[in-house]
Amino acid sequence: MGTLAAAIPATTTASRHAGGRRHRRRGSVAVRCSSAADERQALFSRIAPVYDHVHDVLSLGQHRTWKRICVSWSMAKRGDRVLDLCCGSGDLAFLLSQKVGLDGQQLQTAASRQDQRWKACYKNIKWIEGDALDLPFTDRYFDAVTVGYGLRNVVDRPKAMREILRVLKPGSRASVLDFNKSSSFFTASLQSWAIDNVVVPLASSYGLTEEYKYLKSSISQYLTGEELEKLAKEAGFSSAKHYELGGGLMGNLVATR
């Protein structure tokens, strides 16, 4: 089990409040997880309190750019029904929420809050407990799905891709952002050096040495861009293309059903 968030241009009717990270409001359903990947979930729970801050420092804020690109390439648009899989603290879910927006006059309210962290459109987010390997949604339900740094962390990637395909409407896109397992010796060496000499030492100052050492091993066990394209096609997507970001340190797969 883990973190899902669906942004649907309708008021949230969530049934259970466990509180999203930044918007603890009545009606937002949080997320709890208990599953075969409990240890991995526990790892992310330990990181959660410093997650956004560590990323801003380590990536010099670039992770926000990469996430905006991921959401943009999902082609989510106003009025769509979209899903952010493995949503964690909800960075991509909030971006998607702004893309799909609210109907009519509410839009003005959202616009007037443009400079505030909270936006009226966030009312369209449903925070859902769920498993990316067994999504609680009917077939052909979403106009777009994003996955930010999640596919690498699920225990069955082919099954996750098949589930994403199942819940997508025909012609719609999945946009999957993650670290890039580069085929370039130089890029792979730079990424490995940065993790060993920047990421892990800084994470250690937060008591997260082992958690961020897992990060390095998870990247080494991840798929290259070409393998991700193959994974998507084998799952049934009609097309799939992987694009490198951040000088090849990150990558984004765009797959169309």
Ligand X SMILES: C[S@@+](CC[C@H](N)C(=O)[O-])C[C@H]1O[C@@H](n2cnc3c(N)ncnc32)[C@H](O)[C@@H]1O
Q: Enumerate binding residues for ligand X (CB under 6 A).
A: 2-3, 33, 37, 41, 44, 86-88, 91-92, 131-133, 148-150, 153-154
- List the x/- string, 90-129, binding to ligand LLAZDA3J by CB under 6 A: ----------------------------------------
What is the chain's length? Answer: 257
Q: Which does 86 bind (CB under 5 to 8 A by kind): ligand LLAZDA3J, ligand X, none?
A: ligand X
Query: In this complex, which beta carbon is closest to ligand LLAZDA3J, that of residue 81 or of residue 157?
Result: 157
Residues 6+ apart with CB under 8 A from 16: 29, 30
Q: Which does 133 bind (CB under 5 to 8 A by kind): ligand X, ligand LLAZDA3J, none?
A: ligand X
Tokens of 198: 């920047």
The region of 17-25, 30-38, 126-134, 194-202 touching ligand LLAZDA3J under the rule CB under 6 A is 194-202
Q: Does 60 bind ligand LLAZDA3J (CB under 6 A)?
A: yes
- Residue 104 beta carbon to ligand X: minimum distance, rounded to whole angstroms: 30
Q: Does 180 bind ligand LLAZDA3J (CB under 6 A)?
A: no
Minimal CA–CA distance to 142: which of 92, 82, 95, 85? 82
Q: Which does 246 bind (CB under 5 to 8 A by kind): ligand LLAZDA3J, ligand X, none?
A: ligand LLAZDA3J
- DSSP code of 134? B
- Helices and strands (H and E) in the chain: how many: 10, 7
- DSSP code of 136? S
C-alpha to C-alpha distances, 34 to 3, 38, 137, 231, nearest whole angstrom: 11, 6, 19, 27
- Residue 46 and residue 48: Cα distance in Å, rounded? 6
Q: Which does 218 bind (CB under 5 to 8 A by kind): ligand X, ligand LLAZDA3J, none?
A: ligand LLAZDA3J
Q: Does 62 bind ligand LLAZDA3J (CB under 6 A)?
A: yes
Classified as helix, coil or strand, 255 is: strand
Tokens of 2: 């883990």
**Residue 56: count of CB within 10 angstroms of its CB:** 13
- Helices within 85-195 (DSSP H only): 91-100, 106-112, 157-167, 185-194
- Residue 206 and residue 78: Cα distance in Å, rounded? 39
Residues 6+ apart with CB under 8 A from 223: 157, 181, 231
Token look-up 């999203």 returns 20
Total binding residues toward ligand LLAZDA3J, as defined by CB under 6 A: 21
Q: Does 236 bind ligand LLAZDA3J (CB under 6 A)?
A: no
- List the x/- string, 19-58, binding to ligand LLAZDA3J by CB under 6 A: ----------------------------x-------x--x
Binding site for ligand LLAZDA3J (CB under 6 A): 47, 55, 58-60, 62-63, 149, 152-153, 191, 194-195, 199, 211-212, 214-215, 218, 246, 249
